[in-house]
Amino acid sequence: MELFGFRLERSKKEKQQEKALKSFVVPTFDDGAIPVEAGGFYGQYVDLDGTVRNDFELTMKYREMAQDPVVEVAVDDVINEAIVVGEKKSPVKIVLDRLKASDNVKERIHEEFRNILRVMQFETKGTEIFRRWYVDGKIFFHLIIDEENPQKGLLELRYVDPMNIQKIREYTKETMKNGTKIITGYRDFYLYNKDNPRAGGNPSGIKISEDAIAFCSSGLMDSRYKRTVGFLHKAIKPLNQLRMLEDAIVIYRMSRAPERRIFYIDVGNLPKNKAEQYVKDLMNRYRNRLVYDAGTGEVRDDKKFMSMLEDYWLPRREGSRGTEITTLQGGQNLGELTDVVYFQKKLYRALSVPVSRLEQDKQFMLGRSTEITRDEVRFTKYIHRLRTKFCEFFFDVLKKQLILKKVITSEEWNEMKEAIYFDFLKDNLFTELKNAEVRRQQIEELGNIKPYIGKYYSHEWVRKNVLGFNEAEIKQMDREIERERNQGKIEPDNTQFGLV
């Protein structure tokens, strides 16, 4: 059966790897693809039914959690740190300093990556795209091209709900003489169903080519390494505990806040049945409420009303004290919230967000980088890991765009990928403080090493290793220094770090 969508031409090496790898163990991946054996289409769906239904419920659970006020604040902290939308700068840019290619190829890669961001509208929708990936734990985009003229590249990236699509990995196997099945290769594709059979919809669907979909998962696996989970997965239990505790506190406060009356009724020597009836008559008599209707001038006996005071009626036998009415004191520790705060902090730890950010009334202090807490350092590294994992989505889209535009081939991409990385715009105040101290140290080191420039160290080495410039920044600085030198803004002696 032909797959929907386009398929890029595979290199000979890739085709050999897909067909010639033989093992009795299924390869381990972190993309959450469901492994199936080669066979009919409907047979594959029957094998997937139970697993896919669990994924559907898990995604729904994540989205429900993201609507909780506490979780929403934590998720917003993560999103705001990971994707920074600047007024004049792109949220992410591609860096090709380590790429060994011609300037023309590098410029084409820069141009195509800018086109991808433009098609995705990443500057305006980048935070929403990242939020969907972070909450759901996976993200899918349909890559739309002009099939009659593929060299136009990607014309549109259309979001696909993870509840309607699933990645499938179809393995081919051979049976040995002793009955052992050996895996000889695999093929990936996607199964899409707009009616969502996992929610009880139509079980029919279409198979989509792997290259027609851009996909990125969280990379986190469950304890059995069978299914990918989202970043909110480890917060499910703390959130449920916090919700139950909050509900219990509300119930306790509603039930223990008011004072209650205790009626001790003297029933004398009445038999048990008559004593109970006597107490009930008294209860109904004092529970009734006489209401005067000013419109009609009538007095109405209103029995349908709800009282917050649940009175207690207790009978007393003859010989004990007579009829007595006392009060039962309400709860005294209704303002105690220590246990709630504990579970809120536990929830924040599960979401990898510094607990100090939970304390809204705590004054924010600005200081040196030495005053940065360990939680903030850990949170910065966590954001870096999220960005690194999300970059797989950019790699996937960029690869297909460059191959479609015939800028590079599939074999060249496999060699170039390791030298490409992405730089995200940063807005972390602690990072800015740290960078300020780093620049201060660089300037001090530059002053110390200045007498040896041109004798032991070259200008380019100093700019890359002392000042930390990349190739793009060096070229930009060269142009700016040359322009300012022609304008007479800087002296010739101050241009020794410019053009050489």
Q: What is the pLDDT of residue 43?
A: 37
Q: What is the pLDDT of residue 276?
A: 85
Q: Which residues contact 365 (CB under 8 A, 6 or more apart)?
A: 371
Q: What is the pLDDT of residue 15?
A: 53
Q: What is the pLDDT of residue 194?
A: 78
Q: Is the dihedral of CA 180, 186, 190, 193 positive or negative?
A: negative
Q: For 132-187, how does the pLDDT look when each residue is reduced to its tens digit (9 = 90+)?
A: 999 999 999 999 988 888 888 899 999 999 988 888 888 887 877 777 778 777 78
Tell whether the model's pLDDT for residue 211 goes beyond 70.
Answer: yes
Helices (H), 351-470: 374-404, 410-416, 429-449, 459-465
CB neighbourhood size of 424 (10 A): 21
Q: What is the pLDDT of residue 366?
A: 44
Q: What is the pLDDT of residue 78?
A: 92
Tell whether the model's pLDDT for residue 39 goes beyond 80.
Answer: no
Q: How far is CA 178 from CA 27, 174, 181, 269, 376, in A?
A: 22, 11, 9, 91, 57
- Enter the tokens of residue 298: 């009538």
Q: What is the pLDDT of residue 119?
A: 92
Percent of the chain surpassing pLDDT 90: 19
Q: What is the pLDDT of residue 498?
A: 45
Q: What is the pLDDT of residue 107?
A: 92
pLDDT averaged over the chain? Answer: 78
CB neighbourhood size of 82 (10 A): 24
Tell whether the model's pLDDT for residue 370 goes beyond 60.
Answer: no
Scan for tokens 């279409």, then name that residue: 206
* pLDDT band of 327, cuts 50, 70, 90: confident
